[in-house]
Amino acid sequence: MNNVESHISIQYFQHAYAEFILGSYNNALCLCDFRYRNMRSAVDSRVQQSLNANFVEQTSDVIEMTKVQLNDYFVGKRQNFDIPLVTAGSDFQKTVWRALQAIDYGTTLSYKQLATAINNPDAVRAVGTANGANALAIVIPCHRVVASDGTLGGYAGGLALKKRLLSLEQKAQQYNTTLNKE
Protein backbone atom coordinates (compact mmCIF):
# COMPACT_ATOMS: atom_id res chain seq x y z
CA MET A 1 0.00 0.00 0.00
CA ASN A 2 1.41 3.44 -0.84
CA ASN A 3 1.34 6.49 1.43
CA VAL A 4 0.25 9.03 -1.15
CA GLU A 5 -2.97 10.82 -0.28
CA SER A 6 -5.92 10.25 -2.60
CA HIS A 7 -7.24 13.76 -2.13
CA ILE A 8 -6.12 17.37 -2.21
CA SER A 9 -7.06 19.31 0.92
CA ILE A 10 -8.29 22.78 -0.04
CA GLN A 11 -9.36 25.86 1.85
CA TYR A 12 -10.30 29.36 0.83
CA PHE A 13 -8.22 32.08 2.42
CA GLN A 14 -9.50 35.65 2.46
CA HIS A 15 -6.79 38.29 2.77
CA ALA A 16 -6.92 42.06 2.27
CA TYR A 17 -4.75 41.61 -0.85
CA ALA A 18 -6.83 38.86 -2.46
CA GLU A 19 -8.89 35.75 -1.86
CA PHE A 20 -6.94 32.55 -2.40
CA ILE A 21 -7.62 28.89 -2.81
CA LEU A 22 -4.94 26.91 -0.99
CA GLY A 23 -4.38 23.22 -1.58
CA SER A 24 -2.09 20.58 -0.12
CA TYR A 25 -1.30 17.11 -1.32
CA ASN A 26 0.88 14.56 0.48
CA ASN A 27 2.28 17.20 2.90
CA ALA A 28 3.19 19.66 0.14
CA LEU A 29 1.52 22.80 -1.19
CA CYS A 30 0.08 22.22 -4.67
CA LEU A 31 -2.23 25.22 -4.95
CA CYS A 32 -1.98 28.84 -3.86
CA ASP A 33 -4.00 30.69 -6.43
CA PHE A 34 -6.54 33.43 -6.83
CA ARG A 35 -10.01 32.12 -6.12
CA TYR A 36 -11.69 34.11 -8.88
CA ARG A 37 -9.09 34.04 -11.68
CA ASN A 38 -10.27 33.55 -15.25
CA MET A 39 -8.65 30.13 -15.65
CA ARG A 40 -9.84 28.78 -12.28
CA SER A 41 -11.51 25.61 -13.60
CA ALA A 42 -8.65 24.82 -16.02
CA VAL A 43 -6.02 25.19 -13.28
CA ASP A 44 -8.06 23.13 -10.80
CA SER A 45 -8.59 20.41 -13.39
CA ARG A 46 -4.88 20.29 -14.30
CA VAL A 47 -3.83 20.03 -10.64
CA GLN A 48 -6.37 17.30 -9.87
CA GLN A 49 -5.54 15.29 -13.00
CA SER A 50 -1.78 15.61 -12.54
CA LEU A 51 -1.98 14.42 -8.93
CA ASN A 52 -4.78 11.92 -9.63
CA ALA A 53 -6.74 13.30 -6.69
CA ASN A 54 -9.93 15.26 -6.02
CA PHE A 55 -10.48 18.33 -3.87
CA VAL A 56 -11.76 17.87 -0.32
CA GLU A 57 -12.53 21.06 1.59
CA GLN A 58 -10.54 20.72 4.80
CA THR A 59 -7.40 22.18 6.30
CA SER A 60 -3.96 20.65 6.70
CA ASP A 61 -0.69 21.54 8.41
CA VAL A 62 0.70 22.74 5.07
CA ILE A 63 -2.32 25.00 4.45
CA GLU A 64 -2.03 26.51 7.93
CA MET A 65 1.73 27.06 7.44
CA THR A 66 0.99 28.72 4.09
CA LYS A 67 -1.48 31.13 5.69
CA VAL A 68 1.11 32.18 8.27
CA GLN A 69 3.83 32.65 5.65
CA LEU A 70 1.50 34.57 3.30
CA ASN A 71 0.52 36.89 6.16
CA ASP A 72 4.21 37.46 6.94
CA TYR A 73 4.90 38.17 3.26
CA PHE A 74 2.06 40.70 3.00
CA VAL A 75 3.38 42.72 5.96
CA GLY A 76 6.93 42.70 4.59
CA LYS A 77 8.35 40.21 7.13
CA ARG A 78 8.99 37.37 4.67
CA GLN A 79 10.92 37.42 1.41
CA ASN A 80 11.11 33.67 0.74
CA PHE A 81 8.79 30.79 1.43
CA ASP A 82 9.96 27.52 2.95
CA ILE A 83 6.89 25.41 2.29
CA PRO A 84 7.29 22.02 0.59
CA LEU A 85 5.87 22.30 -2.94
CA VAL A 86 4.51 19.95 -5.56
CA THR A 87 3.90 21.42 -9.01
CA ALA A 88 1.39 20.09 -11.52
CA GLY A 89 2.41 20.81 -15.10
CA SER A 90 4.55 19.86 -18.07
CA ASP A 91 8.33 19.58 -17.84
CA PHE A 92 8.63 22.93 -19.63
CA GLN A 93 6.24 24.62 -17.19
CA LYS A 94 8.14 23.18 -14.24
CA THR A 95 11.40 24.53 -15.69
CA VAL A 96 9.86 28.00 -15.96
CA TRP A 97 8.44 27.80 -12.43
CA ARG A 98 11.86 26.80 -11.01
CA ALA A 99 13.38 29.80 -12.80
CA LEU A 100 10.71 32.05 -11.30
CA GLN A 101 11.79 30.97 -7.83
CA ALA A 102 15.30 32.26 -8.59
CA ILE A 103 14.07 35.84 -9.17
CA ASP A 104 15.16 37.85 -6.16
CA TYR A 105 12.60 39.52 -3.93
CA GLY A 106 11.99 43.11 -4.96
CA THR A 107 13.33 42.65 -8.50
CA THR A 108 11.78 41.85 -11.86
CA LEU A 109 12.77 40.06 -15.05
CA SER A 110 11.26 40.37 -18.51
CA TYR A 111 9.67 37.39 -20.22
CA LYS A 112 12.63 37.49 -22.64
CA GLN A 113 15.14 37.44 -19.78
CA LEU A 114 13.28 34.52 -18.21
CA ALA A 115 13.33 32.62 -21.52
CA THR A 116 17.08 33.26 -21.76
CA ALA A 117 17.55 32.12 -18.14
CA ILE A 118 16.12 28.71 -19.04
CA ASN A 119 18.36 28.51 -22.13
CA ASN A 120 15.44 28.89 -24.52
CA PRO A 121 15.58 32.54 -25.68
CA ASP A 122 13.09 31.99 -28.51
CA ALA A 123 10.39 30.67 -26.16
CA VAL A 124 9.18 34.05 -24.91
CA ARG A 125 5.49 33.36 -25.61
CA ALA A 126 5.71 29.85 -24.15
CA VAL A 127 7.37 31.28 -21.05
CA GLY A 128 4.52 33.77 -20.74
CA THR A 129 1.97 30.98 -21.06
CA ALA A 130 3.75 28.86 -18.43
CA ASN A 131 3.98 31.90 -16.17
CA GLY A 132 0.22 32.37 -16.49
CA ALA A 133 -0.40 28.69 -15.67
CA ASN A 134 1.42 28.93 -12.33
CA ALA A 135 -0.88 27.50 -9.63
CA LEU A 136 1.36 28.67 -6.77
CA ALA A 137 1.00 32.44 -6.96
CA ILE A 138 3.11 34.54 -4.57
CA VAL A 139 5.03 31.43 -3.41
CA ILE A 140 6.34 30.95 -6.96
CA PRO A 141 6.63 34.67 -7.77
CA CYS A 142 5.20 34.99 -11.28
CA HIS A 143 4.30 38.60 -10.41
CA ARG A 144 8.01 39.48 -10.79
CA VAL A 145 7.89 39.00 -14.57
CA VAL A 146 7.19 42.07 -16.71
CA ALA A 147 7.21 42.97 -20.38
CA SER A 148 10.53 43.98 -22.02
CA ASP A 149 9.39 47.60 -22.17
CA GLY A 150 8.86 47.63 -18.38
CA THR A 151 5.05 47.50 -18.51
CA LEU A 152 3.43 44.98 -16.22
CA GLY A 153 2.13 42.51 -18.80
CA GLY A 154 -0.58 40.20 -17.47
CA TYR A 155 -1.37 38.68 -14.09
CA ALA A 156 -3.95 36.15 -12.93
CA GLY A 157 -4.70 38.28 -9.87
CA GLY A 158 -5.13 41.42 -11.97
CA LEU A 159 -2.69 44.19 -12.85
CA ALA A 160 -3.62 46.32 -9.84
CA LEU A 161 -2.60 43.47 -7.52
CA LYS A 162 0.63 42.83 -9.48
CA LYS A 163 1.56 46.49 -9.13
CA ARG A 164 0.73 46.38 -5.41
CA LEU A 165 2.87 43.26 -4.85
CA LEU A 166 5.86 44.74 -6.66
CA SER A 167 5.50 47.95 -4.68
CA LEU A 168 5.25 46.00 -1.40
CA GLU A 169 8.47 44.14 -2.18
CA GLN A 170 10.37 47.24 -3.25
CA LYS A 171 9.32 49.17 -0.13
CA ALA A 172 10.16 46.27 2.19
CA GLN A 173 13.51 45.81 0.49
CA GLN A 174 14.31 49.54 0.81
CA TYR A 175 13.29 49.48 4.49
CA ASN A 176 15.48 46.44 5.21
CA THR A 177 18.42 48.01 3.35
CA THR A 178 18.04 51.16 5.47
CA LEU A 179 17.94 49.09 8.69
CA ASN A 180 21.06 47.17 7.71
CA LYS A 181 23.00 50.41 7.15
CA GLU A 182 22.22 51.73 10.62
Q: Taking the CA atoms of the chain, what radius of gyration do you get in angstroms?
A: 16
Give helix then strand counts, H and E, for the chain: 6, 6
Backbone φ and ψ for 23, nearest 5 degrees, come out as -140, 140
Strands (E), 19-103: 19-25, 28-34, 54-57
Is residue 142 annotated as part of the catalytic site, yes or no? yes
The Cα–Cα gap between 160 and 145 comes to 14
Q: What angle do CA 117, 119, 123 make, to 5 degrees?
A: 90
Single out the catalytic residue among 142, 156, 165, 166.
Answer: 142
Contacts of 15-21 with CB under 8 Å at 24 or more apart are: 15/70, 15/71, 15/74, 16/74, 17/74, 17/161, 17/164, 17/165, 18/157, 18/161, 20/70, 20/137
8 Å CB contact between 129 and 90:
no
- Give residue 115's identity as a one-letter amino acid code: A
Residues with a catalytic annotation lie at 142
